[in-house]
Every structure is written in structure tokens, then in C-alpha cells.
Amino acid sequence: MVAVSAARTPAPSEILKLYRRVREDSRTLGAPLSDADATVQSMPDASPAKWHLAHTTWFFEAMVLGPNVPGYRPFDDSFNYLFNSYYETIGERQPRPRRGMITRPHLDTVFAFREHVDEAVERLLSSDPSPEVTELVELGCHHEQQHQELLLTDILHLFAQSPLKPAYKDPQPLPVETGGREPVSFTAFDGGIFEIGHEGNGFHFDCEGPRHRALIEPFRLADRLVTNGEWIEFIRDGGYRDPLLWLSAGWGTVTARGWDKPLYWQERDGEFWTMTLRGAQPVDPNAPVTHVSYYEADAFATWSGRRLPTEFEWEHAAEGLSMDGNFADSGHLRPKPSPRRGEGLTQMFGDVWEWTRSQFSPYPRFKPVEGAVGEYNGKFMCNQFVLRGGSCATPGGHIRATYRNFFPPDARWQFSGLRLAEDA
């Protein structure tokens, strides 16, 4: 997602603080990695950590500094080819499946690239830049936060391929709750015509608007996320072997790829373990299930006699709720069990991205912004499904109730899970 709309222009000093914080957060995320860790690409959909750290820096150099700082000298002209992502209007680029072939520059050089760009951006923000430049830097910060999450999910996928199952952080086992979980309950919502999408106050990506009216029928939404323990029941009941539970494309995928459990799960002496950013860990039966595709989420919902919510139902239910949750800054880096609760919804923000049954498509009156930064969202509005709420790898403060994440229906390497819904 790389296009923005904002109702107000933030002060350059405010954006400078945001810029420094985001850039330091990325450096902290890269600190535990060796050059080898940061270079290898584990699959075409993932990118090396080195590429994430350089691409987000390239964005500031190509989109902000080059067009707005007379006489700016790029750190290295070859980086425009190496670290461009999808921007056709800017030029040719290294093919995405071959980003792991970029063995050079060394990781130390990438950090030097970051320092070179940081100095120039800080000078620019200190020179009373135009509102357009300030907004573009703000966009770059939020773009970098997205790549911070991708860096974590891609490192997890890479480390899961290693026979050593290395830990990104603190390999000691985390406590697992062994007590019984509370049964799920459902909160009822009346139907009607409701306003959906961002109102325009503060930063948001362009695909979150325009705000518009949507008809929502009465529905009920589960008060918590689906747990690992419930998913194990689905497995034991033959959920991965019953074609009647699956969409046709889902059944074709699950049979062709041999899926019989979530990504990273393995069974050891009758107990399920999973790969995490803290290394291999026992599956916590009371924590939310994660690393499941849209196809799996939909099949589980069918098995349970319910369905996935639409993104409009989810957003309507989330309106006005606290956005506190288990995000990356908690340091836990894996989903947590739902807190003991009273009435109402829990885990709406953080822990896992929640699949909805809504395809990623434009809202009424949507138009991509002009120029190169308008290339990203609009052209991906096909064959993707919307996820809501953020995850344990999402930077704190990055999420909104209107935030629309999107992935293809077979994607599993993100921290993606589900919450059930039903018609009222």
C-alpha cells in the first residue's frame, strides 16, 4: 500500500520525529541479523531483510530527495535497479523472485546507504519544505512500517527452512496455558446503512477511502479469535480431507500442496509444535491460530456452521473500540490467548490479521493518486482478499479500524487467522 490521503498537513517537526523513530525501529529489527541472514530469499513471495532495509531507503531517495533536493547525489546509481519494487514509471528493476541473488552490497553498506539518506531527509525537513514534501515523507514512514512487518514475517519463513530452526529473538520457551478455554460467544449487531472508510482526518492509505455508505444486514460476531485448540479439533475431525468444506479453488490447492495443518506446524510424539520468531515452540491451544490461508479460514468457518465476516461488518463492529493490542512493540512476537473477559469483543487489534470474505476492490469514487506513488494499491485490486486488525508483527500505532490489508487466498506466511461471524 503506497498511496495516501490526509485532511491536514502535519508540521515538518512532527514528521521529523516520526521519521527518526521509524528509521531507528528498522535498524533495531535488522540488528540481530548476519549478512547471510539478511541476503537469502526463502521463496518468491518473501524478500531478504537486506532488500527491505534498502528498498524503504530507496523510496525516500527516489520519491523525496531526487525530485525535491537540487543537486542531490544518489548513494549508488545501481540501487535504483536493485531496490525498486513495483514502480514501472521509475524504471527497470531486479525481478522479485531473484532478490536473493543480490549478495552485494553487504549489509553494512545498506546501513551506510540508510545513513546517507537519513542525513539528507533530516536536512530537507529542517528547511521548511512544502506541504507536498512533508506528506510524502509521512507516506514513506508508513510504507517503511509495512516493510518492518514484512521483514519479520519473511525472516520467520527463512528461519523455518533451516534444519537448525534458529530463533530471531530470545529462544527460551514462552509459557503455554494448559487450562480449558472459555467457549466462544457472539455479539449481535443491528443491520442498517452505515458509513464505511476513513473520514480523512490524519494519515491513511488511499484504498481506505472514500468514506461511503454500505448496507449491512443484522449479524453476530465472535467475541474472540479462533484458537489453536479449535483448529486441532478441525484437523482431528478430518477437516483437511473433506472436499465438501472447501471452495473449489481451495480444495485444488490443499490437495495439490498436501496441506494438512497450518504453515510451520509439525507433530512430535502426538503434540503439535510450530516455528516462531523465538524458534520452535509448542502450540499454545488457547492462543489464536495463525499462518492459515483464506481457503483454510473459509473451510474452518464452514465446518463450524458459520462464516467469515465481511470487511464492512468487521469495520462497523470495530468502530470506537480501543486499538490496544498485542503488536510488535510488545516484544512477544507471537499471538497471545484472549484475556479473561466480560461482555464484548476482544483481540480486534493485534495478534493476527483477520481474514474477511471481502475481495479487495475499490470503494465507490476511488481514484489512485497521480504519479508514481499511485501505482501500488489500485493495480492490485484483483484476486486478493481483505484482512483487518493487524498482528503481533505489526508496528504499534500503525493500525486503524479502516486499515485494509490484502493478500491472495493461498497466502499463509503472514500472521493471518480468523474470527467467526453468523447471520442474525
**What is the distance between the alpha carbons of residues 407 and 81, in angstroms, rounded to a whole number?**
25
To the nearest whole percent, how much of the chain has pLDDT over 70?
94
To the nearest whole percent, how much of the chain has pLDDT over 90?
86
**What is the distance between the alpha carbons of residues 72 and 135, in angstroms, rounded to a whole number?**
20
**What is the distance between the alpha carbons of residues 4 and 15, in angstroms, rounded to a whole number?**
15
Sort strands 353-359 and 416-417 into parallel, antiparallel or unpaired: parallel
Which pLDDT value is given to residue 375?
57
At the fourth CATH level, the homologous superfamily of domain 186-423 is paralog of FGE (formylglycine-generating enzyme) (3.90.1580.10)
Cell of 38: 539478511
What are the tens digits of pLDDT across the range 214-250? Answer: 999 999 999 999 999 999 999 999 999 999 999 999 9
What are the tens digits of pLDDT across the range 334-346? Answer: 999 998 766 789 9
What are the tens digits of pLDDT across the range 119-166? Answer: 999 999 999 999 999 999 999 999 999 999 999 999 999 999 999 999
What are the tens digits of pLDDT across the range 254-270? Answer: 999 999 999 999 999 98
What are the tens digits of pLDDT across the range 8-23? Answer: 678 999 999 999 999 9
Q: Where are the beta strands (DSSP E) in 352-404?
A: 353-359, 385-388
Which pLDDT value is given to residue 376?
61
pTM of the model: 0.95
